[in-house]
Amino acid sequence: MTRKARLSKKERMSRVLQYLGPRFGVVETELQYETPFQLLVATVLSAQCTDKRVNSVTPALFSAYPDARAMATASEEDIFPYISSVSYPNSKARHLSLLSRMIMEEYDGNVPQTLETLTRLPGVGRKTANVVLAVAFGQVALAVDTHVFRVAHRLGFVPASANTPYKVELALRQLIPDKDVAHAHFWLLLHGRYTCTSQRPKCTDCGLREFCVGPLAVKAK
């Protein structure tokens, strides 16, 4: 019987987090922001785009429109020039204008703090809402992006039938203690971004081979 077979999924997750924790330490989002509103905006902009690219446009955007009150006065056309170099700038400019107005009209200028209210905002899906809840408000929320999704599957934490980020989120939440959720999100994300990459994962450098069920995995000896 292999070591992997003897361990439950929770025990394997614990081992994985024990490995990743010291490698990455206490990490936060690589997006640059100063307020919950700015984090929300940056996270909306980061969809299908790199954090580095987003960080290159937000200083000027936040200088012109630092909060919901200021951005609510801006039209899609006003916002577009500031974010033209990120992916899908037209729809993101429209979403930022609309969500700012909704935050002013319905939440008195404050970013709402529940999943249900956040996902009512234009351009805000479950992943974006979970990032804001976890990072800006310290809530127990697990955002599943493409990296977390891939790593969860390759490490065998979720069944093949978990074919949506939502299903993966629910499965992972069963395995990760609440106190570890915030860190686990970033550790799994960074492992996926830098080691367990989508194409040509660096399996020979990976200390998680013994737990891996990925198609490209190099099994532990």
**Contacts of residue 101, Cβ cutoff 8 Å, sequence gap at least 6:** 72
Tokens of 188: 């799994």
Question: Which of 42, 131, 155, 176 touches ligand SF4 (CB under 6 A)?
Answer: 155
Render the burial of 67-90: b for 16+ CB within 10 Å, e for the rest. bbeebbebebeebbebbeebeebe
The answer to whether 170 and 142 are in contact (CB under 8 A) is no
- 190 binds ligand SF4, rule: CB under 6 A: no
CA distance 10 to 25: 21
208 touching ligand SF4, by CB under 6 A = yes
Query: Is the CB of 10 or the CB of 105 nearer to ligand SF4?
Result: 10
- Asked if 209 is part of the footprint of ligand SF4 (rule: CB under 6 A), the reply reads yes
Residue 195 in contact with ligand SF4, rule: CB under 6 A: yes
Q: How far apart are CA 22 and CA 2, in angstroms?
A: 25
The answer to whether 107 touches 117, Cβ cutoff 8 Å, is yes
Place of tokens 């198609």: 215
Q: Does 216 bind ligand SF4 (CB under 6 A)?
A: yes
By CB under 6 A, residue 41 contacts ligand SF4: no
Indicate which single residue of 45, 111, 118, 212 sits in contact with ligand SF4 (rule: CB under 6 A): 212
When asked if residue 154 is in the footprint of ligand SF4 (CB under 6 A), the reply is yes
Rounded to the nearest whole angstrom, what is the least distance from the CB of residue 15 to ligand SF4 in the complex? 13
Calpha distance 56→58 (Å, rounded): 6
Q: Does 214 bind ligand SF4 (CB under 6 A)?
A: yes
CA atoms within 13 A on the CB side of 95: 23
221 is catalytic: no
Q: According to the binding rule CB under 6 A, does residue 140 interact with ligand SF4?
A: no
Least distance (Å) between residue 42 CB and ligand SF4: 28
The CB-of-22 to ligand SF4 minimum distance in angstroms stands at 16
Binding stretches for ligand SF4 (CB under 6 A) = 154-155, 195-196, 201-203, 206, 208-209, 212, 214, 216-218
